[in-house]
């Protein structure tokens, strides 16, 4: 089964600091997605990224956020000047090569902003 990996598993940061969350999607896939899940709440779409460009983003994905593909395999989600309300699980997802665009989720990074 295809695997999506994320690092770190847990990140603790001070309010106002920048954090970078990393994801290694299914190899050779050009699409990937970032989602957020605040504790006790539903998963929310943040952004989709295709072929080195943002394909779609939600209203949550404001100027505080950015996504990059710094090399051929890793994707990153950068949060500038973190706020307390950014504390959440952040999942990346990568689609499988099926007509229904099934998405495989990584294990998530738990971000805690103090």
Partner 1 sequence: KNQVEQSPQSLIILEGKNCTLQCNYTVSPFSNLRWYKQDTGRGPVSLTIMTFSENTKSNGRYTATLDADTKQSSLHITASQLSDSASYICVVSGSYNTDKLIFGTGTRLQVFP
- The nearer residue to partner 1, 86 or 108, going by C-beta atoms, is 108
Q: Which of residues 42-71 bind partner 1 (CB under 8 A)?
A: 42-45, 48, 55-56, 58
Q: Identify which range of 12-20, 66-74, 76-84, 87-95 contacts partner 1 by CB under 8 A.
A: 87-95
- Confirm if 82 and 113 have CB atoms less than 8 A apart: yes
The answer to the question of residue 108 lying near partner 1 (CB under 8 A) is yes
- Written as one string, the DSSP assignment of 9-48 is SEEEE-TT--EEEEEE-STT--EEEEEEE-TTS--EEEEE
- The nearer residue to partner 1, 2 or 16, going by C-beta atoms, is 2
Q: Which of 21, 86, 91, 111 binds partner 1 (CB under 8 A)?
A: 91
- Cα separation of 92 and 6, whole Å? 8
């Amino acid at each position: 089964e295809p695997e999506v990996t994320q690092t770190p598993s847990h990140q603790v940061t001070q309010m106002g600091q920048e954090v970078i969350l990393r994801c290694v999607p299914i190899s050779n896939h050009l699409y990937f997605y970032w989602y957020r899940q605040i504790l006790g709440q539903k998963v929310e779409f943040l952004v989709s990224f295709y072929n080195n460009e943002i394909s779609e983003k939600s209203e949550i994905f404001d100027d505080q956020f950015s996504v990059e593909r710094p090399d051929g395999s890793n994707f990153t989600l950068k949060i500038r000047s973190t706020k307390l309300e950014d504390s959440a699980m952040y999942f990346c997802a990568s689609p499988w090569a099926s007509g229904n665009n099934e998405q495989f989720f990584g294990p998530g990074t738990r971000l805690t902003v103090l």
